[in-house]
Each structure stands twice: as structure tokens, then as C-alpha cells.
Amino acid sequence: MKGRTVLITGVGKGLGRALALELASRGHTIIGCSRSQDNLTSLQSQLSSSNENHLFINADVRSNESVQDMARVVMEKNLVPDIIVNNAGTINKNNKIWEVPVEEFEAVMDTNVKGTANVLRHFIPVLINAKKVEGIIVNMSSGWGRSGAALVAPYCASKWAIEGLTKSVAKELPQGMAVVALNPGVIHTDMLSSCFGASASLYQPPHSWALKAATLILNLTPSDNGASLTV
């Protein structure tokens, strides 16, 4: 498979970082964004020998203006992505909905839902204008985007929103492009630890997950448009 350019949000740690490292090791070019410049710098250092064309941008997907600026930089660098992975996400601390602080609820929605919408708003036109007729968009969902769970209602609501958003956008894309909702499965990340505590360590680490996820993502085609998939 020839080298492709992959944009991954939330690339500083967790699944985003693991996926970036795995795809780069297979010869693909990474465009990554994160709110943490330190995390971006360390990732860039890790990948410095694999491809000089990688691009890392300090951006906050919660901000429409920040994503707009990122899209402008990407176009200026002539690095239009073949694949976009809307990975940036957060979760509320375990709590009943009436005990979740309003700021925490808004942070989950702003990152998981609005953040994804901001990327779609500014990058779908980039793909269309660049005639990326087989552009692939992956919106990270969750098993909790297809079922409910106590104590994480804000997170569940945000991922159910991703499922609906994906199916609607699939009907709007030009023929040949595709958007899918991808449940990554259960992986030992900081987010899982916040829900499961010590038992989170019983699950696979991000780098093991990335081996399978990268293959699945690279093999998506326009025929997958609108699908709800699972790694």
C-alpha cells in the first residue's frame, strides 16, 4: 500500500499517539494535533527519523478558530490528508448525571461532539477541493455509543451523538468518500483508568490495539460509508 497522509486529532497520548506511531512505522505521513505542546514535541522526536514530512500542530479541536487555523496550515504545507481520524476525546469522572459538574459535562460535549464537528466543518471542504475522491473519515465512537452505562452518561451521550452524526454526514458526502463510526474496543488508557480504576490494566495496551486498528483503517473503502465498525 503506497504511503498515505493521515490526520489524527488528540495525537499527544493514548490511542492517537499509538496509532500515529504505528502508521508512521508503515511509511505513512502523519498530521497530528494536540493541546499539549510537550506531547507533540516528544512525539515529533520519536518520529523524526521516519519521515521528514510529518506535521504536528498545537491545536484545540474544541475551538472552531483553532481548527480553522490548522486547516489553513495544512493547506499551506500542501499536506491534504487521505484519511482523517477524529480521535480527540475525554470522559467525565464517574458520577450520576445530576452530580456531574456543568463544566465537566460541557467539556465532554465540546471535545467529543463539537470537536469532531469542527474538524468535519473545515476539512471536508479541503478534501473536496483537493479532489480527494476517496477520502476516508473515521469518527471515534465507543461501545458506549451503542449502549448505555451508569456513571458515564455524558460520555455515552457524546458517543451516541457521534454515531448519529456519522450516519447523517455519510448521506452528505460526495460519491467516493466515506465516513465511519469506529468503536476502538476496550483499551488500557487514562480514560479507561478513570472509569475502571486498577482493573483497567487487565485490558490491552494502546500499542497492541494500534496494530489492528491501523490495518482496519487503511483498508476502509467508499463502500464502508456510514458504517458503524469495531476494532
Q: DSSP string covering 73-104, please?
A: HHHHTT---SEEEE-----PPS--GGGS-HHH
Bridge partners, 178 (sequence order): 136
Q: What is the pTM of this model?
A: 0.96
Residue 165 lies in a domain: yes
CATH code for position 130: 3.40.50.720
Q: What is the pLDDT of residues 115-126, one digit of tens each?
A: 999 999 999 999
Quick check: is 227 in a domain? no
The answer to whether 155 is a known catalytic residue is yes
Spatial distance between the Cα atoms of 65 and 30, rounded to a whole number of angstroms: 22
Task: Specify if 230 maps to a domain.
Answer: no
Distance from C-alpha of 14 to C-alpha of 221, rounded to nearest angstrom? 26
Domain that holds residue 137: 5-221
Specify whether the CB–CB gap between 162 and 140 falls below 8 A. Answer: yes
Q: Is residue 228 part of a domain?
A: no
**Grid cell digits, residue 129:** 477541493
Give me the pLDDT at residue 1, please.
Answer: 61
**Of 132, 86, 93, nearest in space to 111 by CA:** 86
Residue whose cell numbers read 475522491: 133
- With respect to residue 231, please indicate whether it lies within any of the assigned structural domains: no
pLDDT at position 51 is 72
Is the residue at 226 inside a domain?
no
pLDDT of residue 140: 98
Q: Which of 56, 123, 144, 155 is catalytic?
A: 155
- Which regions in the chain score pLDDT beneath 70? 1, 50
- Give how many domains the chain has, as a whole number: 1
Residue 205: inside a domain, yes or no? yes
